[in-house]
Amino acid sequence: MRQLHRVNQFQRLWQLSQGEPLRLSVAAMAQHCFCSERHVRTLLRQWQDAGWLHWRGESGRGKQGELTFLISPEQLRQQLLTQQLEAGEAIQALQVLDLHPERLVKMLRPLMGGQWQNQAPVLRIPYYRAMEPLRPLRLTGRAEQHLVRQIFSGLTRFNGDDVEGDLAHHWQHDGSGCDWYFWLRPQLSWHNDEPIQAAQLVAQLQQIMQTVRGSRLLASIERIEAPHPLALRIQLRQSDYWLPQRLAHQYCLLPHPDAVDIGSGPWKLTHFTDELVRLESHARWHLQRSLIQLVEYWITPQLFAHGLGTSCRHPVQIAIGDPDELDALRPVDHSISLGFCYLAPRISASFTAAQATTLIALIQHSGVIQQLPLDEGLITASKELLPGWPVPSAGMTTVKLPEKLTLHYHLPIELHVMAQALVPLLAHQGCKLTCVFHDVKNWRDDIDLSDADVVMGDRLIGDAPLFTLVNWLENDPVWTPLRAPVLQAPLIAIAHQPDPEQRAALTQQLFQQLMGDGHLLPLFNYRYQVFAPPGVEGIQLNTLGWFDFTRAWIPPPATAGTVQPAPEPVP
């Protein structure tokens, strides 16, 4: 980029005197700028015309002239950054950011959060790591799961505990619960403005059913067809009253059949690199239109260097803007995650149910979770699996633990801290714990857990927690050894139950049994927090610890702060 190259050349001269007046020959300047003397004279003329410096030369070869600097390289970079952002050139702007973290924080501070750019509201979020590819069928991080739901649509969608229409506005089934019709909204559109065809959705769902994950999720489906351009018919092998929830699952979000990055959700993906992820609002989305036009994730790990403060102190603590300015940033929402990190003993001949109960009791009564060396307020020990589902307290027993146990666990980092704390705790009981770490965020079918006596993981729960927990037992590899002998019959009975309250009661009964029998111990929940500057409104945490981009809004600059909140009524 030519303009940035000019700034770098200017900076080399400025650094010779740190901005103080400087006497130098044209030949010396050419050497410092890595160019010819003729080109240096052109640069001096351009810089002087632009107001960067004043050059007073003396005639004669080798004579020194006087440079007076009128602006610093950092000020120039800030100007260049602002100009590129106003022109919509975020990619070029990111090239300006090759700076020391302290200077980078100072430069980015006024550019993050909510901005109006070219008469359009824009939200910029600094983020601490590169994003994984946004593919609905891949189990990815919390941020990626949030983004795929912004980009792609399914036949149905979750709304808190409920399921509602997305591409389909209504559905119905016959008395057997095996024959379902889903009626599509008219004039649906992909992000490339092509009309959505029912046959395309049928083909995509059939393709999902051919994958390992999709085949488990949609195992009850026997046939899918499009009897009408605005209708899908789904026939089941056996009744499954979770079908609307299954079709709202992340795996059933539907990309364009010919372009995996094109969806039909409220936001379309227009740029995806390790440095920048950009979403633009989809003008033809079929539900509530977005109130901002552009969302950008600036992948700037430099901002999260230790000791500088961060805009994302943890993946579940998000600040839109610069948290060093905490009086400007305000905590706009917080919640305790429904999801939890868990410990799952794998009962066998060498690790009995009684010994698993001893392990659970030891963890519960030792206070090890409360003593983990983690940032204050990040986690809270689990008291309930879901609200109203208490975690049973295991009584201390005289049963000894085995001499050796093997623990397998994956990310997040808090589980590593937990594993390290369990080693001395079990050693004090005469049990040597071997820890095996897997650098993944979820258990996959290709991970060998055959020698695991205990497994730890993170069970993310978004919307529809009852269905999410049932689906976890149906599909997660951690439950494979238990599925056939213990889980299969109650899971089928739950799916066959048409009454939602009865399904809920049966689900709670199953999980209380798993916890009571020593198969599952929820360890801790996260405390979700989100901070925002005064210029961003409508922020409300969702169950993934993020917020719905379609509800956020930014007051126009001419009106921001002009309306004061009404005073509280006097009692």
Residue 322: pLDDT band by 50, 70, 90 thresholds? Answer: very low
Query: CB-based contacts of 93: which residues, under 8 Å, 6+ apart?
Result: 80, 81, 84, 85
Q: Find which of 123-127, 140-144, 346-350 is predicted with most confidence, using mean pLDDT.
A: 346-350
pLDDT band for position 29 (50/70/90)?
confident
Rounded to an integer, what distance in angstroms lies between the CA atom of residue 331 and that of residue 336? 14
**Cis peptide before 412, with omega less than 30 degrees from 0?**
yes
Q: What is the largest CA-CA distance in the chain?
A: 100
3-state secondary structure of 383: coil
pLDDT tens for each residue of 100-116: 444 444 444 444 444 54
Strand 404-410 and strand 454-459: the pairing is parallel
Dist. CA 67–CA 43, nearest whole Å: 13
- Measured in degrees and rounded to the nearest 5, phi and psi for residue 421 equal -75, -30
DSSP for residue 136 = T
Q: What is the pLDDT of residue 136?
A: 92
Please give the pLDDT value at position 378.
75
Question: Exposure pattern of 397-428 as b/e (b: 16+ CB <10 Å)?
Answer: eeeebbeebbbbbbbbebbeebbebbeeebee
CA distance 545 to 447: 28
Q: Mean pLDDT across the chain, nearest whole number?
A: 81
Tell me whether residue 560 is exposed, middle or buried, using C-beta atoms within 10 angstroms of its C-beta: 0 to 12, 13 to 18, 19 or more.
middle
Where b means 16+ CB within 10 Å and e means fewer, 103-134 reads ebbebbeebbbbbbbeeebbbbbbbbeebeeb
Question: Residue 90 phi/psi, 5° resolution?
Answer: -65, -35
Q: What is the pLDDT of residue 105?
A: 43
Gap between the Cα atoms of 202 and 262, Å rounded: 17
Cβ-contact 530, 547 below 8 angstroms:
yes
Dihedral sign, Cα of residue 206, residue 210, residue 213, residue 218 = positive
Determine the pLDDT at residue 182.
97
CB atoms within 10 A of CB 513: 13
pLDDT of residue 66: 87
Q: What is the pLDDT of residue 552?
A: 56
Residue-level pLDDT at 504: 93
**Beta strand pairing status for 294-299 and 120-127?**
parallel
Of 161-165, 182-186, 370-374, 404-408, which range is least confident? 370-374
What digits encode the pLDDT tens for the residues 288-318?
777 777 888 877 765 554 443 333 334 444 4
Q: Are 13 and 72 in contact (CB under 8 A)?
A: no
d(CA 369, CA 375): 13
Phi first, then psi, for residue 522 (nearest 5°) are -65, 130
One DSSP character per residue, 278-345 reads EEEE-TT-SSSPPSSSEEEEEE-GGGG-TTS--S-SBTTEEESS-TT-TTTSEEEEEEE-S-EEEEEE
pLDDT at 262: 95
75: confidence class by pLDDT, cuts 50, 70, 90: confident
pLDDT at 559: 54
Q: Per residue in 492-540, pLDDT tens?
A: 999 999 999 999 999 999 999 999 999 999 998 876 555 554 455 555 5
Expressed in angstroms, the distance from the first to the final Cα of the chain is 63
pLDDT at 228 over 90: yes
- pLDDT at residue 326, as a whole number: 39
In this structure, the number of other CB atoms found within 10 A of the CB of residue 61 comes to 8
Please compute, for residue 528, the number of CA atoms within 13 A of its CA located in the half-sphere on the CB side: 22
Q: What is the DSSP letter of 543?
A: T
- In angstroms, what CA-CA distances link 56 with 33, 399, 534? 18, 90, 47
The mean per-residue pLDDT over the stretch 265-293 comes to: 86
Q: Is residue 544 within 8 Å of residue 142, measured between CB atoms?
A: yes
pTM: 0.71
Number of helical H runs and strand E runs in the chain: 16, 22
Which two three-digit tokens encode residue 242? Answer: 């979770």
Whole-angstrom CA distances from 433 to 262, 341, 420 are 47, 19, 10
What is the residue type of 121? P
- CA atoms lying within 13 Å on the CB side of residue 443: 23
Are 52 and 68 in contact, with CB atoms under 8 Å apart?
no
Does the pLDDT at position 221 exceed 50? yes
Residue range 445-492, pLDDT digits in tens? 889 999 999 999 998 887 788 999 999 999 899 999 998 889 999 999
Q: Is 548 helix (H, G, I), strand (E, B) or coil?
A: coil
> What count of Cα atoms within 13 Å lies in the side-chain half-sphere of residue 183?
6
Distances from the Cα of 361 to the Cαs of 35, 306, 383, 386, 541, in angstroms? 73, 37, 14, 20, 34
